[in-house]
Structure 1
Amino acid sequence: MKKMAMTKAPAKDMSNMDMHDMDMDMGNGQMMHMGNLKRKFWVSLILTLPLIIMSPMMGMQLPFQLIFHPWTDYLAAILGTAIFIYGGQPFFSGAKAELANRKPAMMTLIAMGIGVAFVYSIYAVVANNWLQVTPPVTDFFWELATLIDIMLLGHWIEMNTVMNAGSAVDNLAKLLPSSAHKIVAGQVSDVDVAALTTGDHVQVRAGEKIPADGVIVSGATSVNEAMVTGEARLVEKQVDAQVVGGSVNGEGTFEMRITGTGEDGYLAQVMKLVSDAQAAKSAQENMADRVAGLLFYAALTVAIVAFIVWMLVGNLALALSIAVTVLVIACPHALGLAVPLVVARSTAIAASHGLLIRNRDAMEQVKKLNYALMDKTGTLTAGNFKVAEYQSLDSAYTADQVLSIMASLETGSSHPLAVGILKAAKAQELTPVEATDSEQLTGVGLSGTVAGQTYQVVSAAYLDRQKLAYDQAAFNRLASAGNSVSYLIQDQQVLGYAAQGDQIKPEAKNLIDSLKAQHITPVMLTGDNAQSAQVVAKQLGITEVHASLLPEDKAKLVKQYQSDGSHVMMIGDGVNDAPSLASAEIGVAIGSGTDVAIDSADVVLVKSNPNDVVEFLELARNTTRKMTQNLWWGAGYNVITIPLAAGILAPWGFLLNPMVGAVVMSFSTVIVAINAMTLHVKKA
């Protein structure tokens, strides 16, 4: 399955963006400028008002038309031509691109409808005033003008709705301050935020907005991240804690090192994700285009057949009127709005709930899910390890020496187990020295040189594979209590161990229960020992557990579960989860995890909260349902009205007028827009 790589948004001042300066893709690469579209609508509407006075309304003569007679037809033709050329231009440009790609779709249908109406109306003027045909031919300038107005208004509403749907993310960008307190050689000076670069140190004072993404290097505070993560509470921040640009500092003052600014920042990436989501085509959007293409051929065929039939049973004027009605009715405006509005709304909701949807197709896979495979450490557990016990298994080393050497090897590592060992060494007032020649052993541990001696920190599974002797009874006792046990070895000799316990995340139980309620089987995949994994699994209610896994083992298990046609979601946060995240139909990365894992995922949980998986599943299902509803409504409207416009009920005295069809079409568009905006997701 192809994954979408996270791209970086161009660095720019997003706070000054005006909705009227924004462009929107109207299909096949045709861009519509928001301001131009708004202007076209108002100009066309103003020209339509006198046109209503000048032309017959569905065949009815108004008093004003008698006053301006005999020039009413010519004035109506002039106004109608101006509206047709000026207001209809976007639709003909779009149709040209569609036909150039040999894929007639929505814009082609619209252009065909208004084009036929215009030509027929010009014919009516000529026939009535120059040819003096009897009976007089009714022109469609009034219907043409109002149809163009409705189309322009609909696209304006669409663009406005799309932009408003992303307003939650736009507001994040506006949170960035204009200046920051940069620290250089101990001196604080105010600089423009745009001048900050990665690695700079800045001071953030009480109540100020944080200027960029970074890590606290001194001080402590509490931060309001509600606009970023949706979490409506203050989050305590200590040294080494990450902060996000745009969030608001509490009462404390701290110094931070910038890790991301401009195009590297979280807000810029979210803006880029929203932009990509609006422009990219999902499978259902492509289906909407295919449906519109079929409607083009169907409408053209029905119009031709109806024209021929009504020519035989009626006259030219009636046949042309019915053919025009068919083509006007076929305009698929509601179908064109069906999916984009839902996607825009869904993307904005996801961003405000701390969900980054990096591959939108993943949302359409949710309804097929059978299994949710998930890592243990950092996903179901907090990853805050605390050393419960450490011992020497070699008389040449004391327990403190074992812990000190392990801490030396782990210096500089951000792995949860490494952090636990370093904290224990600090608590015992041991002074580790940074190891040289450090090397990560994927799925095993790490190695390095301390005081000229080479050591390794490995798991019990590694000892078993290498058939190295160790105290099995002690391991079973510690592991059955839920501890992860790391061993220090040298030259294939076990020197000692450190056992660490972790805490289950409070939200993990709700995740498992929710998955089961949705008939999705939770499966634990972990590189930890089986006993520790079983302890966590039992507390959470997970019955399928795979422990002591290497990265390739996890990826193989994903494919194994997929082998019978099942669909799999993988949830993880570590480097060893990256292959399985990429292999699964849906890869969900915990936001606090490694960059490798996040880059391999379809969905990123910014808050690292397992409950957000539940919110994602609900949002995905609601989004897919809204898309389907809108597609059915948009296509169903055309399926019903085209035969009516062709005169299928004429034997019973019913012929559908073009204006009535336009009104019904606008009503259908409003329903699609309202349905999209009712999309929501409950807080898990």
Structure 2
Amino acid sequence: MKNMNKDSHASMDMNNDSDLMQHGGEMMHMGNITQKFWVSLVVSIPVVILSPVLLNRFYPGLAFPGSEWLLVMLASFMYFYGGAPFLRGARAELKDRHPEMMTLIAIGISVSYFYSIYAFIMNTFVGGTNVMDFFWELATLIDIMLLGHVIEMNAVMSAGNALQKMAALLPNDATLANTDGTTSDVPLSEVQVGQTVLVKAGENISTDGTIVDGQTSVNEAMVTGEARDVTKDVGDEVIGGSTNGAGVIQVKVTGTGESGYLSQVMQLVNNAQKEKSNAEGVADRVAGWLVYVAVGVALIAFVLWWIIDKNFNFALERMVTILVIACPHALGLAIPLVVARSTSIGAKNGLLTRKRQALEDARRLNVVMMDKTGTLTEGNFAVSDVESFTADHDADGILAVMGGLETGSSHPLSVGIIKELEARHKASVAVNNINNLPGTGIEGDYQGHHVAIVNERFVNENKIDYDQSEFNELSLQGNTVSFLISDNRLLGWVAQGDQLKESSKALIDGLKARGIRPVMLTGDNKQVAGLIAKRLGIPDEDVHGELKPEDKEVIVKQYQDQGLVVAMVGDGVNDAPSLVRADIGIAIGAGTDVAVDSADIVLVRSDPSDILHFLDLAHNTTRKMVQNLWFGAGYNIFAIPLAAGILAFVGIILSPAVGALLMGLSTVVVAINAQTLKI
């Protein structure tokens, strides 16, 4: 997959073939199903014209010397050529001792064909007999079943089109910017992490990376779903597959091939399309049972009608009709086609589904728990106050030590401190043995002393004195306060303010409108958390502050123990335990960090409102699943009794031809219905 533009296409084709094999046994070994359909359709025309049975037997059939022999030859061609995929599929199912749709189709066409051969022999060589044949039903059944497969194949193939388009976003070649100032064009597969590539105006960016020279705007719509152009400058990250604007930039490569963002997205979507959900398991079980029900009812109907009516031909016709009508082929496609379509739509809209079951669980959702920083707020902290409480350091000195501790950290609070140092034209000091304190802060060694940046909970638990009234005033203004301590003594603090994301209020309102309870979980102090929650309309009892990662997991479990279905939304790193614990884990993240192993759903754009889009997609997906289950199998509740002849006494009898039409239509309806899914 290193040359993704070429190899990804091949991979997608193989995946699609694999999916079709799952649905049709050995069907794909028979070559081009579309060609088989058209050839069979052409051959079936003279079969219909020559056959003495058409619809309600009002048409006697075209007869001329030798016409009955021609009819047998054409029908035999239909059976062995057009019916071959179903016969091979049935053989594979029986070999696995798991008969399903191919077996039922094979039984239907085989019974129709061999009984019709028997009728031909009786009518041609035995005088005084007039046995009705099923050649017309045989031809129409094969045509309709092949047509259903053609539509099904197109639907499955189109479900992977979004991934193929993603693969096509990456160019075959990249322009390397060499250290001597020259450039050279090389195959994308040869580009290595750490090299620098040149991206000209209007070109698709070849790899993930960081801009080291130039300024531009980038269109990431085909990758993240974000429609507007995003301004990029030196130090900003870019995603392979996005389109460069008018500027010329140089990008230091951080990911290519399988390590690139686009490759990870494709793998996530592809895995989700293959994974089975509960609904699909239900469909498989229904299909399996339907085989035995159909065969059982067909045999019972055959025996009863033979006993009651003393008419072998009519009894056999009832058995054939039942077997044709009950064929559950559409049922096998009902769920996979919907989920394939759903995951593709999600990928194009910045919603990556890692586990199919999340789509079904979403309809039962009671609670959505959210981290605050970076989820509900921008995460772009700006320093609003710096205080020193020691004569050894002034405000700049406090910032310098904190900057030394935060070196290399990408946490929003860390970024805010580093930016403030840059704005003051000050440098960080060297801090050694830096170590992260989950849910608390960060620690290290400076000039022979242990120093640490900690939160309010830590200083309270360790009884470190500070000005509570000043702290409360800063907190009530929406600031997050970070404490710098040394050897259990307060050196100073930094207060930073964050802003709500524009769509956060709409998210909370949208959740409430759906009857879903919003809950805030944050490691920030309770005053700041309460202030943010009040602005958003989250009740006080559903605001939990000063939490460690393990605390969030405990709270998720507490809500679940109340019988509630819980979704957790977080950054996928500090929130990993709670993401795993929740019924649905939703990771908010962008760029190369999007593939979060602990999440079920990934929101590429880091936009809270996409949670509502996910719920809408999940609702629509589940609705389509239920519809397709009924389209694929529900009609059997009425069709099988009618096929068995339960209303024969009032003149209502379903012929094998009508049975074939019903089954074929159900396959067509299932495929079309899946393609109508929208977000």
Structure 1 counterpart SS, 2:575? helix
**Match of 1:157?**
151
Deviation track 1:329-387 (CA, whole Å, cap 9, x = no partner) reads: 11123323322221122112101111100111100001111100010001000110111
Partner letter of residue 125 of structure 1? F
Asked if the contact 2:276/2:356 (under 8 Å) is kept, the reply is: no
The percentage of aligned residue pairs carrying the same residue is 54
Partner letter of residue 304 of structure 2? V
1:366-385 equivalent positions in 2, closer than 5 A:
366-385=362-381
Partner letter of residue 55 of structure 1? S
1:14-163 equivalent positions in 2, closer than 5 A:
22-23=16-17, 24-27=19-22, 30=25, 32-33=27-28, 36-58=32-54, 60=57, 65-67=62-64, 69-70=65-66, 72-132=67-127, 134=129, 136-163=130-157
Decide which moves more: 426-435 or 554-563: 426-435
1:208-219 equivalent positions in 2, closer than 5 A:
208-219=203-214
Q: Give the Cα–Cα distance (whole angstroms) in 1 for the partners of residues 12 and 588 of structure 2.
A: 33
**Match of 1:5?**
none
Structure 2 counterpart SS, 1:576? coil
Asked if the contact 1:591/1:606 (under 8 Å) is kept, the reply is: yes
Change (3 A) 1:231 1:252: same
- Give the TM-score of the pair, scaled to structure 1: 0.93
**Match of 1:356?**
352
Change (3 A) 1:258 1:459: same
Residue 660 (str. 1) matches residue 653 (str. 2): no
**Match of 1:247?**
242
Q: Give the Cα–Cα distance (whole angstroms) in 2 for the partners of residues 372 and 667 of structure 1.
A: 41
**Match of 1:262?**
257
Structure 1 counterpart SS, 2:635? helix
**Match of 2:306?**
311
Report runs of 4+ in structure 1 exceeding 4 Å deviation.
8-12, 14-22, 59-64, 593-597
Q: Give the Cα–Cα distance (whole angstroms) in 1 for the partners of residues 253 and 43 of structure 2.
A: 55
1:13 to 6, 28, 41: 6
1:223-622 equivalent positions in 2, closer than 5 A:
223-314=218-309, 315-543=311-539, 544-592=542-590, 595=593, 598-622=596-620
Q: Give the Cα–Cα distance (whole angstroms) in 2 for the partners of residues 274 and 42 of structure 1.
A: 34
CA offset at residue 133 of structure 1? 6.2
Decide which moves more: 607-616 or 233-242: 233-242
**Match of 1:4?**
none
Partner letter of residue 354 of structure 1? G
CA offset at residue 313 of structure 1? 2.2
1:163-174 equivalent positions in 2, closer than 5 A:
163-174=157-168
Q: Give the Cα–Cα distance (whole angstroms) in 2 for the partners of residues 465 and 25 of structure 1.
A: 61
Consecutive unaligned residues in structure 2, runs of 5 or more: none
**Match of 1:181?**
175
Residue 195 (str. 1) matches residue 190 (str. 2): yes
Deviation track 1:245-296 (CA, whole Å, cap 9, x = no partner) reads: 2211111111112222222223333333343333332211121121122221
CA offset at residue 138 of structure 1? 1.9
CA offset at residue 17 of structure 1? 5.5
Structure 2 counterpart SS, 1:454? strand
Change (3 A) 1:50 1:261: farther
Asked if the contact 1:574/1:594 (under 8 Å) is kept, the reply is: no
1:639-658 equivalent positions in 2, closer than 5 A:
639-658=637-656
Asked if the contact 2:20/2:28 (under 8 Å) is kept, the reply is: no
Decide which moves more: 642-651 or 96-105: 96-105
Asked if the contact 2:261/2:594 (under 8 Å) is kept, the reply is: no
**Match of 1:3?**
none
Decide which moves more: 143-152 or 498-507: 143-152
Q: Give the Cα–Cα distance (whole angstroms) in 1 for the partners of residues 146 and 158 of structure 2.
A: 18
Deviation track 1:632-665 (CA, whole Å, cap 9, x = no partner) reads: 2222222211111111111011211111222233
Asked if the contact 1:154/1:333 (under 8 Å) is kept, the reply is: no
Structure 1 counterpart SS, 2:63? helix
Structure 1 counterpart SS, 2:414? helix
Q: Give the Cα–Cα distance (whole angstroms) in 1 for the partners of residues 393 and 273 of structure 2.
A: 62
Asked if the contact 2:202/2:245 (under 8 Å) is kept, the reply is: yes
Q: Across the two proteins, how many residue pairs are aligned to each other?
A: 671
Structure 1 counterpart SS, 2:574? helix
